[in-house]
């Protein structure tokens, strides 16, 4: 792999090949009214293996982004007919709350103020036209790196490291969103709070590592059974599931199947094969807040425990 300065090292070349391979998953929208510039930019991007979508003006670009959630990066010109670059960015950032989309403005070098205006309107970066290939790729790869960092940060912030399920933070955010969205009285929404029975005994008798394996196995069965719903580990051996669109009796039937399956199954650990059960409190959304709903679910869970465990209280 030769460049002006000489040969790249083997390690650099391998990194580059991997990078190019990953670029295949990244979709870039080029919004530019000049066919020549659009072709030039798309050609550069194609060389780095990006997926490319093109738009001839701001309106087309806006429609493309709204119709296709998989667009990761927008490269936009300022001066375009129908809708210019600033109007486009403004609509995306403010009206449609597209916060994850990386936006890079293309400014002509003869207007020194454009770059600042791009950033103020919500662009992440800008490029003066004409640009060198080197700068173009540096800017794009910088944007890709920052996009990947942000996504990784999101993943870490919303995932429980032991089980890989969503965590409490994710659950609370989603629940709050869904509860306000499902405000129409006809759209049901159920919430279940699950807690493994006598989990302390499992830790005491089989060891903490075996306890961890039980949590992982339980999380796996919840993920499989409730793939369509929001499942989260709230902490310790407590899990919550949100069932948008399901009234309690239907959510109860689904949960009951998992309760039976859990009771009948077992988990293999180095300390031996062990079985466990769980209890759950199940509620349906009424007029109250999320906190009230959680409190109610917790009370029912407490009742399920009092009444002998391994049961679902609704």
Write the DSSP symbol of residue 309. S
How many Å apart are CA 205 and CA 60, to the nearest integer?
64
**What does 203 bind: ligand GH3, Mg ion, none (CB cut-off 5 to 8 Å by kind)?**
ligand GH3
Nearest distance, CB of residue 198 and ligand GH3, angstroms: 5
Site for ligand GH3 in 286-305 (CB under 6 A): 305
Q: Kindly write out the interface string for residues 248-287 of this chain, putting x where it contacts ligand GH3 by CB under 6 A and - elsewhere.
A: ----------------------------------------
Residue 196 touches ligand GH3, criterion: CB under 6 A: yes
Are the beta carbons of 83 and 70 closer than 8 angstroms? no
147: three-class secondary structure by DSSP? helix
Residue 218 touches Mg ion, criterion: CB under 5 A: no
Out of 8, 137, 168, 212, the only residue in the binding site for ligand GH3 (CB under 6 A) is 212
Q: What sign does the CA torsion over 11, 13, 16, 18 have?
A: negative
Complete edge-to-edge strand list for the sheet that includes strand 51-55: 51-55, 27-31, 71-77, 102-108, 125-129
Query: Would you state the structure tokens that stand for residue 166, as one six-digit string?
Result: 């969503």
Are the beta carbons of 106 and 126 closer than 8 angstroms? yes
Q: What sign does the CA torsion over 292, 234, 257, 225 have?
A: positive
Residue 59 touches ligand GH3, criterion: CB under 6 A: no
Q: Which is nearer to Mg ion, 48 or 199 (CB)?
A: 199
Q: Which is nearer to Mg ion, 126 or 199 (CB)?
A: 199
Stretch that binds Mg ion, among 110-118, 137-145, 171-179, 234-242 (CB under 5 A): 234-242
Q: What are phi and psi of 210, to 5 degrees?
A: -65, -40
Residue 239 touches Mg ion, criterion: CB under 5 A: no
Q: How many CB atoms lie within 10 A of CB 256?
A: 14
Q: Which is nearer to Mg ion, 8 or 221 (CB)?
A: 221
Are the beta carbons of 178 and 172 closer than 8 angstroms? no
Out of 29, 31, 33, 293, the only residue in the binding site for Mg ion (CB under 5 A) is 33
How many Å apart are CA 242 and CA 23, to the nearest integer?
35
Q: Which is nearer to ligand GH3, 60 or 167 (CB)?
A: 167
**What does 220 bind: Mg ion, ligand GH3, none (CB cut-off 5 to 8 Å by kind)?**
none
Q: What are phi and psi of 186, to 5 degrees?
A: -80, -15
Out of 136, 199, 218, 239, the only residue in the binding site for ligand GH3 (CB under 6 A) is 199
**What does 81 bind: ligand GH3, Mg ion, none (CB cut-off 5 to 8 Å by kind)?**
none
In the annotation, is 186 catalytic?
Answer: no
Are the beta carbons of 191 and 297 closer than 8 angstroms? yes
Query: Would you state the structure tokens that stand for residue 227, as one six-digit string?
Result: 């793939």
Out of 50, 126, 199, 276, the only residue in the binding site for Mg ion (CB under 5 A) is 199
Write the DSSP symbol of residue 26. -
**Residue ranges that bind Mg ion, judged by CB under 5 A:** 33, 77, 79, 195-196, 199, 237-238
**Residue ranges that bind ligand GH3, judged by CB under 6 A:** 162, 195-200, 203, 208, 211-212, 215, 236-237, 305, 309
List residues with catalytic annotation. Answer: 237
């Amino acid at each position: 792999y030769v460049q002006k300065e000489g040969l790249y090292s083997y390690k650099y070349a391998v990194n580059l090949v991997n990078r190019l391979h990953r670029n295949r998953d990244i979709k870039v929208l080029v919004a530019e009214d000049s066919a020549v510039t659009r072709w030039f930019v798309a050609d550069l991007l194609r060389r780095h293996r990006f997926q490319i979508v093109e738009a001839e003006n701001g309106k087309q670009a806006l429609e493309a982004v709204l119709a296709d959630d998989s667009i990761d990066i927008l490269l936009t010109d300022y001066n375009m007919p129908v809708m210019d670059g600033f109007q486009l960015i403004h609509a995306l950032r403010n009206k449609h709350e597209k916060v994850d989309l990386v936006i890079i403005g293309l400014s002509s070098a003869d207007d020194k103020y454009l770059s600042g205006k791009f950033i103020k309107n919500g662009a992440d970066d800008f490029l003066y036209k004409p640009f060198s290939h080197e700068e173009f790729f540096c800017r794009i790869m910088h944007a890709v790196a920052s996009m990947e960092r942000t996504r990784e940060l999101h993943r870490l912030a919303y995932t429980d490291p032991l089980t890989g399920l969503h965590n409490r933070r994710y659950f609370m955010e989603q629940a709050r969103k869904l509860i306000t969205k499902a405000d129409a009285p006809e759209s049901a929404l159920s919430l279940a709070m699950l807690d493994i029975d006598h989990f302390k005994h499992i830790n005491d008798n089989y060891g903490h590592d075996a306890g961890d394996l039980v949590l992982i196995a339980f999380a796996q069965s919840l993920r499989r059974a409730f793939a369509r719903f929001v499942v989260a580990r709230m902490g310790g051996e407590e899990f919550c599931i949100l069932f948008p669109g399901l009234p309690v009796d239907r959510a109860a039937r689904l949960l009951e199947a998992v309760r039976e399956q859990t009771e009948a199954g077992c988990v293999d650990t180095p300390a031996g094969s062990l079985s466990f059960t769980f209890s759950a409190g199940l509620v349906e959304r009424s007029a109250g807040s999320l906190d009230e709903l959680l409190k109610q679910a917790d009370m029912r869970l407490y009742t399920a425990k009092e009444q002998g465990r391994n049961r679902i209280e609704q």
